[in-house]
Amino acid sequence: MKQENISVWVKSGILRLRQVDTEKIRSMITSAEVNARVAKSIALDKNSATLIFREIYESIRQLGDAAWWLQGYEPTNHEISVEILKEMEIKEKLKLNFLDRFKKIRHDANYRGFIVTIHQAEEIIDFWNKCGKDIINNLSSRMKKN
């Protein structure tokens, strides 16, 4: 993440300076894993697609929050939370390009009453299955360095 972007975000209040708190970071990662696992255990149909999508998105966002906390910042919105994940080095790095689309789908579901399709829910499940563990491993290895 470019330092000049971070400086602008801190000045605008999108990020707040915080002390690195490994227990908080560990808790966020665990919460993300548990929420995603529970969401994936729900039978996917047209009635559950929105719930599953939102919960897995929330897990992804929490991992973004953890990434910011590792750098000594607290994000104040979910847009900035997923932004940091786009630069993460993982095996399926190209899939990180889906994050903006997922953010829009989640926004439409939460604030415009759109219903998430089964296909959209399958996409975010696939993203979690292919990228979630790598993101968690990346965060965990960076925690060990702190």
Q: What is the DSSP letter of 42?
A: S
Q: Do residues 82 and 64 make contact, with C-beta atoms less than 8 angstroms apart?
A: yes
Q: Do residues 16 and 47 make contact, with C-beta atoms less than 8 angstroms apart?
A: no
Which of 16, 114, 112 shows the shortest CA–CA distance to 71? 16
Average pLDDT value over all residues in the chain = 94
Query: E strands along 1-146, which residues?
Result: 15-17, 73-75
| Mean pLDDT score, 102-129 | 96
User: Residue 15: phi, psi to the nearest 5?
Assistant: -125, 145
Which of 57, 3, 63 shows the shortest CA–CA distance to 28? 63
Q: What is the pLDDT of residues 39-95, one digit of tens each?
A: 999 999 999 999 999 999 999 999 999 999 999 999 998 889 999 999 999 999 999
Domain borders along the chain are 3-145
CATH number of 3-145: 1.20.120.330
> For residues 2 and 28, which has the higher predicted lDDT (pLDDT)?
28
Q: What is the pLDDT of residues 128-139, one digit of tens each?
A: 999 999 999 999
Q: Is the pLDDT of residue 37 over 90?
A: yes
pTM over 0.85: yes
Beta bridge mates, 75: 15
Which of 111, 127, 112 shows the shortest CA–CA distance to 53? 127
